[in-house]
Chain A
């Protein structure tokens, strides 16, 4: 039996288990695997979100695991939604088949996001899963924030991280005439700076999540519109081969998730920022009911710190349901806001530095 992973020469090769395209279209065959996987897993995740049962987080882990395995081993094209949007939009009217191929992943994820929120981020994303898993396994590191050991770990990691990135940028020598080719390495350096800043002064978390993230999104779009084949830590999961820049970025992101849970999802992920804009008006929202005791039990469990003073930042929330499961009073619930009278009119998240 041929394993899906193997070393060929000096490189890691990921072979896809599903080799054949599924949909004959336009004298060729279009790979519908991503669409079918995203749609199927999203429906399962939505069902588990809505169904109240005690072991939901374990079920989520299971869905995340299945999703990671399915996406890594079954999907050929990179699910880089930012680039695919631009390529797809550019191909519309010229090459509709190509446009369909580029846009199908984003269209599927966006449709489910508009219905169920950032279900992809919380339940399906392999990078988010890897970060969360690593963050969970190393929770001891963040459990002693005031101890000198954590401070040494934090800054030591920063120095080591920069060293690794320094070496990696040497290793990933750009293939084009501009370093932007492997820009993700430099984005990851930026992420490390943001993470260190937030760890030093947590009140900056809101600023980076609500402002810098969208600046990153715009800059990523600018890079793609410029026509540069920029990659991301995400690419390492999807491409049939390993690029050094994405591998190093992935390594850096995972390293950062030890000191700051889901660091990439919070501040950098352009796909997450895009989906966050859609999730802001999603049909399904996690809202408070009148059983809320305002004891703040939902806040510390959030992996991306999106609940502040009991108010959830809709654009950052990953829909992981940890807050819902953690509330002993059953004060949080999924509400379909498309139904009349269900829309909760709460002010958008206030700046958390100003407590009341």
Chain B
């Protein structure tokens, strides 16, 4: 093997063996665990009794929410030369590397824009490398080892659009690292836009780069709008990238050349903000994605034809996870109606649903706890949840802290997902929070389970701001009616008749 991508290879191997959930893999090297984005890690926890291990320091404060600004990217877990590391991008333009054992800062690198895309870790040519897509329109490669001077941290930088005064921050999809014909390929979806009237640019495209040098292999323009997180599969034996396009289409591109593999893109009818995952169901490769048409879809990867559509009844922006649970291929989807759905991957029929108390926008992560497959998910009710993958039974919940901004724009921001992996020799659940810190959990003696959420009447009222509003309304109502009744008593009833004024005149 000329270019050894050891971690990536092990991840792909683990995916192949994901049905048995038996192999031990250390890392969560990219978004969705592997290039198929299935979100399944073979990590085994001894039990679901989780103890809070560490949390990181708060990043630099940003008091203003800007449309679409992410807080954290989803984490990337890796062991770099024996040192456990958690890599994340942040809204403060910084790429963070935290110590996986303690949560302390290992190193930081400031880019020119917010980093919402999950970093990718791999060993290229025997050297560990970290790839990061930043909204400063650039893709970076870093040396992720500790002790490297800041001036030598950056290995290369590829700018996808030159800076102008009218350029907006780019929207970068989570990069993907694949190995094609024995050679690694780094793929990233980019949406650049320059609002200038004379040099207007609106370009959603997919770039393939050589990871070692950053040399561009090919570049394929998809359209004028944003491109989502690509995933890797095959079409007629050809390695294929499945790329969601935000206005409502999925493209199948050759990883080798970037050419279309389907006669025409698959159209969903409405916007797609979710990523895509790939899974094999009954010998047939299916794509799983959600849409803003309130449906989750299963699409035949060979033809681009829809196989099933399952009603979720609201938006689905989270990338579906795919796992085989007790012999049944299952898709796990988070939705805006607070539910995590488990759908039969072959038919789209609902197996179970679990209701959190907030929007589930992050993508589910599947692991094993106490011999039982579980689904871990971040919810916008400030908690991370662990539920049983078989039946949606509640197992664990932890308060990650409240939102540190005053508001956000619904549907404009993709929030970080939680991930599972081995850090410092033990299985860990890592959950970034929009309160400003990243939390890590491992099996311990203390049970930090907050218990299942309860919908007490007063909690709900407090959440809804209902009491002050309704009291105010009742007060205004009483005041208005009292005044009107008094005025009516003083002046008599008003003359509403059409002829009244004419007669009086």
Per CB-CB distance, the 5 closest pairs between chain A and chain B, nearest first, are: A355-B501, A27-B223, A296-B498, A229-B410, A227-B409
* Complex contacts, B480 vs chain A, CB 8 Å: 193, 196-197
Determine if B477 and A162 form an interchain contact, defined as CB atoms under 8 angstroms apart.
yes
| Nearest-Cβ distance from residue B216 to partner chain A, whole angstroms | 21
Interface residue? B193 (CB, 8 A): yes
Is there an interface contact between A28 and B476, defined as CB atoms closer than 8 Å?
A: no
Interface hub of B265, B461, B476, B501 (most chain A Cβ within 10 A): B501
A136 contacts B by Cβ under 8 Å: no
- Interface majority SS (helix, strand, loop, mixed), chain A: loop
The interface residues of chain B lying within 8 Å CB-to-CB of A228 are 407, 409-410
Bound complex: CA A189 to CA B469 (Å): 10
How many residues on A have C-beta within 8 angstroms of the other chain's C-beta atoms?
61
Say if the beta carbon of B96 comes within 8 Å of chain A.
no
Instruction: Flag the segment in A6-14, A105-113, A209-217, A258-266 that touches B.
Output: A6-14
Interface string of A166-210 (1 = CB under 8 A from B): 100110111111110100001001000100110011110000000
CB < 8 Å neighbour of B197 from A20, A93, A94, A189: A93
A209 to nearest B CB, angstroms? 16
- Per-position contact with B for A298-323: 1 when CB-CB < 8 Å, else 0? 01100000000100000000000000
Note all chain B residues with C-beta closer than 8 A to A197. 480, 484
Nearest residue (CB) in B for A353 is B494
Known A27-B249, A181-B410, A229-B411; contact A158-B504, beta-carbon cutoff 8 A: no
Q: How far is the CB of A306 from chain B (nearest CB, A)?
A: 14
Interface residues of B (CB under 8 A from A): 67, 168, 193, 195, 197, 200, 202, 222-226, 245, 247-249, 265, 267, 269-270, 293-295, 311, 313-314, 336-338, 350, 353, 358-359, 380, 403, 406-412, 457, 460-461, 463-466, 469-470, 473-474, 476-477, 480-481, 484-485, 487-488, 494-496, 498-502, 504-505
A13 near B470 with CB under 8 A, answer no
B410 touches A28 (CB 8 A): no
Central interface residue in B314, B353, B380, B488, by most chain A CB within 10 Å: B314
A300–B496 CA distance with the chains assembled, in angstroms? 11
Q: Hey, which chain A residues are within 8 Å of B267, CB to CB?
A: 20-21, 28-29
Task: Determine whether A101 belongs to the interface, using a CB cutoff of 8 Å to chain B.
Answer: yes
Contacts of A76 in B (CB 8 A): 269-270, 293
Of the listed residues B265, B270, B338, the one surrounded by the most CB atoms of chain A closer than 10 A to its CB is: B270
**Bound form: Cα–Cα A28–B244 in Å:** 11
A176, B338: Cα distance in complex, Å: 11
Query: Chain A residues with Cβ under 8 A from B496's Cβ?
Result: 202
CB < 8 Å neighbour of B314 from A26, A178, A241: A241
Given contacts A28-B267, A172-B464, contact A226 B494 (CB under 8 A): no
Given A200-B481, A229-B411, A355-B500, A169-B469 contact (CB < 8 Å): yes
B223's partner among A97, A174, A179, A240 (CB-CB below 8 A) is A97
Question: Which of A162, A165, A300, A355 neighbours the largest number of chain B CB atoms within 10 Å of its CB?
Answer: A355
Find out whether the CB atom of A193 lies under 8 angstroms from the CB atom of B477: yes
Provide the bound-state CA to CA distance between A166 and B406, in Å: 25
Report the bound CA distance from A152 to B41 in whole Å.
64
Pair A176/B248 contact, Cβ less than 8 Å: no
Q: How far is the CB of B276 from chain A (nearest CB, A)?
A: 16
Q: Is the CB of B498 within 8 A of A300?
A: yes
Return chain A residues, CB-CB under 8 Å to B473. 162, 186, 189, 193
Q: Are A169 and B464 in contact (CB under 8 A)?
A: yes
Q: B407–A227 contact, CB under 8 A?
A: yes
Smallest distance from the beta carbon of A305 to chain B beta carbons, Å? 10
Q: For the complex formed, measure the closest distance between the CB of B7 and the CB atoms of chain A, giving whole angstroms.
A: 35
- Inter-chain contact B501/A309, CB cutoff 8 Å: yes
Q: List 8 A-B contacts (CB under 8 A).
A: A175-B359, A186-B469, A193-B476, A201-B488, A202-B494, A240-B293, A296-B499, A356-B505
Question: Closest chain B residue to A29 by CB distance?
Answer: B267
Are A95 and B224 in contact (CB-based, < 8 A)? yes
Residues in chain A near residue B408, CB distance under 8 A: 176-177, 227
Cβ of A355 and Cβ of B461 under 8 Å apart?
A: no
Check B501 against A241 for contact (C-beta < 8 Å). Answer: no
CA distance A19 to B496 in the complex (A): 51
Of A30, A101, A229, the residue contacting B409 (CB under 8 A) is A229
Excluding A200-B484, A355-B502, 6 further A-B contacts by CB distance (< 8 Å) are: A28-B225, A96-B224, A169-B466, A177-B403, A240-B295, A355-B504
Report the Cα distance A165→B471, complex, angstroms.
Answer: 12
Chain B residues contacting A165 (CB-CB under 8 Å) are 470
A309 proximity list for chain B (CB < 8 A): 501
Chain B residues, CB < 8 A from A30: 247
Expressed in whole angstroms, the minimum distance between the Cβ of A205 and any Cβ of chain B is: 10
Q: What CA separation (Å) do A242 and B403 show in the bound complex?
A: 27
- The residue in chain A whose Cβ has the minimal distance to the Cβ of B503 is A355
Nearest A residue to B295, CB-CB: A240
Instruction: Name the B residues within 8 Å of A353 (CB-CB).
Output: 494
Is the Cβ of B470 less than 8 Å from the Cβ of A11?
A: no
The answer to whether B193 touches A95 (Cβ under 8 A) is yes
- Least CB distance from B275 to A in Å reads 18
Collect the chain B residues with CB atoms within 8 Å of residue A227's CB: 67, 407-409, 412
Does A174 contact B270, Cβ atoms closer than 8 Å?
A: no
Chain B residues with Cβ under 8 A from A296's Cβ? Answer: 498-499
Minimum CB–CB distance for B235 against chain A, Å: 18
A94 vs B476: C-alpha distance when bound (angstroms): 45
Report whether B466 and A97 are in contact in the complex, using a CB–CB cutoff of 8 Å.
Answer: no
Check A325 for interface membership: any CB of B closer than 8 A: no
Contacts of A162 on B, CB cut-off 8 Å? 470, 473-474, 477
Q: Are B311 and A8 in contact (CB under 8 A)?
A: yes
B463/A174 in contact, CB under 8 A: yes
Given contact pairs A76-B269, A93-B195, A170-B461, A175 touches B410 in the complex (Cβ within 8 A): yes
